Amino acid sequence: MATSHTVGSFLFDYLYKQGVRHAFGIPGDFALPTFRWLEKSELKLLTMTHEPSVGFAADGYARVHGLGVACVTYCVGGLNMLNPIACAYAEKSPVIVISGGPSPADRKHDALVHHKVRTFDTQRRIYDEVTCASTVLLDPDTAADEIIRVITTAIAESRPGYIEVPYDIVDLPIRMPTLKNTPAPESDRENLEAALAEAVAKITAAKNPIIVADVELHRHGLTDYAIAIAEKFNIPIAATLLSKSVISETSPLYMGVYSAALSEKICQDYVENSDCIILLGAFLSDVFSGFHATHKLDRRNAILATTEKLRIGLHSYDNVLFKDFLEGLQQSAIPKKVFTNPYKRAELKPLTQAETGEDLTADAFFRILGLTMEKDATIVCDTGDALFGAMGLHTTQQSNFLSDAYYLSMGFAVPASVGAVAAKPDSRVYCLVGDGAFQMTGLEVSTFAKYGMHPIICILNNDGYGTQRHIIDGPFNNIHRWEYAKIRDVINYGKSMKVRTKGELEKALTQATADKDMYIIEVILPRTDCSEPLRRLTTNLSEIRDAAKRK
């Protein structure tokens, strides 16, 4: 690094050296000096229409590229972006939040500065709840060390970090960081050896073991270890909704997506009847358990290894690094298993001539999408049927399926697609979003237009919050009807169409896939219809949420 850096130039130069190539943001007066340094840097800035979208775009970029950056102004911008950063924290996506801020002089006199909420530290304290490291750069002499600390912690823990830059500090010369000899973390060797011995014995004795490969593998760059273990010992491997596409869905060992009763029956039965379930990087959330309070897996038959814990059967092992455990398993002498995969990918049958005139259903939409989408497509799903109906779609590349499948915030998909296009410009992005979620963040179609991006946006229009209707219905699930296909005329970019029949959808998707332009396809679905996985989910949730059914 150069020795003549300012706080601003050092910050963005350091991010560039960590592999970041794009940043997402919305400027504001406290942040304008920081944005000027961002504009001078080697990072490409994409400005969005609303701060929540900035956070989701940076999150989508991080999930594909490894580290995202979101730049906003003080409080009115930063607090507006809190929900997507909470999503990134919950799902372990490393996003660096850079916020402009008031000057040290303002803080000293406790002035009533615009955008201030309660104290000058209110925003930072709130962000402490949804980040793994935070700092306010009040001193250019310590700023470089603080920048490095926050960013390296965010990368190591794969969670967001927060850096607040006072507007009159960002231009000051920075003192270069002090050299530190920080030893790398190490496993407790005795605990590691004991854990491996028990795990190897359990897997060796098992007749039908299975690996459930979850999202932490991808977040920490450890997916190849899981694949190597599966291939070396011939152990089948399943994904979860949160980790879908973390492993190749074309692998002969792939068993599908496990989410308890939401899963395909073969996958559910194999996992739940396994005598050794190897959970690697798993989030044991209620989504994992099919929205039941507890999952049906027998702990005595389970190996749970994550970055935070290692549990084999009923025994826990402290101070064992996830990577060391995976390496040890890969190098162990486990006899190769005899396994014939019972999971067969459902063959998607082309539409017959008689079907082309039939009205669309949710299940038909996903069938036709599977028949027409590009081979190396990236799929970005919003909460609801856009996600649960997509469980059966098959991708061929790693990290080609993005969703907030644990946090489940509506409004994720459209802005996250901006991040996905920036991170993976050679992969066609299919954005799947319900009409309710689109009304939250759909204005980011303007961002696609601004930067000449070409996603295919499918708006599943069932006239309201369809997922919730199947749990507890009421007028609160209604939304105002938009003419979604006419949004193209507002932004004067791309192409759009409204489809009602199977044949119309097939024609629209075929045309959109062949044409390198942005497409908005409004997909008209029956108000009471939903995919089969969503029907199973909402049946479970309805029994939990509805007081009459609980009784």
Residues of the chain whose pLDDT is less than 70?
Answer: 1-3, 290-295, 396-399, 550-551
- Alpha helices (H) in 69-170, listed in sequence order: 82-90, 104-109, 122-127, 140-157
In this prediction, residue 2 carries a pLDDT of 44
Question: Would you give the DSSP letter of residue 238?
Answer: E
In this prediction, residue 551 carries a pLDDT of 65
Per-residue DSSP letters for 258-272?
-BTBTS-HHHHHHHH
User: Which one is the CATH code of 189-331: 2.70.180.20, 3.30.750.24, 3.40.50.1220, 3.40.720.10?
Assistant: 3.40.50.1220
In this prediction, residue 550 carries a pLDDT of 67
Report the amino acid identity of residue 107: R
Report strand pairing: 302-305 vs 276-280: parallel
Residue appearing with tokens 């999150």: 59
219 touches 285 (CB < 8 A)? no
pLDDT tens digits for 297-313?
A: 888 999 999 999 999 99
Residue appearing with tokens 């939409």: 365
453 touches 518 (CB < 8 A)? yes
User: Which one is the CATH code of 355-548: 3.30.1370.100, 1.10.486.10, 3.40.50.970, 2.40.37.10?
Assistant: 3.40.50.970
Distance CA 16, CA 189 (A): 36
Distance CA 59, CA 81 (A): 11
The CB density around residue 500, as the number of other CB atoms within 10 Å, is 16
430 touches 416 (CB < 8 A)? no
In this prediction, residue 294 carries a pLDDT of 52
- Helices and strands counted in the chain (H then E): 22, 19
∠ CA 329-394-498 to the nearest 5 degrees? 150
Domain 7-166, classified CATH 3.40.50.970, yes or no: yes
234 touches 384 (CB < 8 A)? no
71 touches 53 (CB < 8 A)? no
pLDDT tens digits for 319-341?
A: 999 999 999 999 999 999 998 88
Within a 13 Å sphere around the CA of 33, how many CA atoms are in the beta-carbon half? 18
Residue appearing with tokens 């919050």: 465
Residue appearing with tokens 């989408």: 373
CA distances from 386 to 348, 412, 496 (A): 19, 11, 19
> Quick one: tokens of 465?
């919050």
Ramachandran area for residue 411 (φ above 0: left; ψ -120 to 50: alpha; else beta)? left
> Quick one: tokens of 514?
């062949």
Domain boundaries, given as residue ranges, for the chain: 7-166, 189-331, 355-548
pLDDT tens digits for 155-189?
A: 999 999 999 999 999 999 999 887 777 888 999 99
pTM above 0.85, yes or no: yes
Per-residue DSSP letters for 152-197?
HHHHHHTS-EEEEEETTTTTSB-PPPPP---PPP---HHHHHHHHH
Tell me, yes or no, if the two domains 7-166 and 355-548 fold the same way: yes
CA distances from 470 to 64, 161, 289, 480 (A): 33, 37, 19, 19
pLDDT tens digits for 473-494?
A: 999 999 999 999 999 999 999 9
Report the amino acid identity of residue 268: Q
Distance CA 253, CA 173 (A): 55
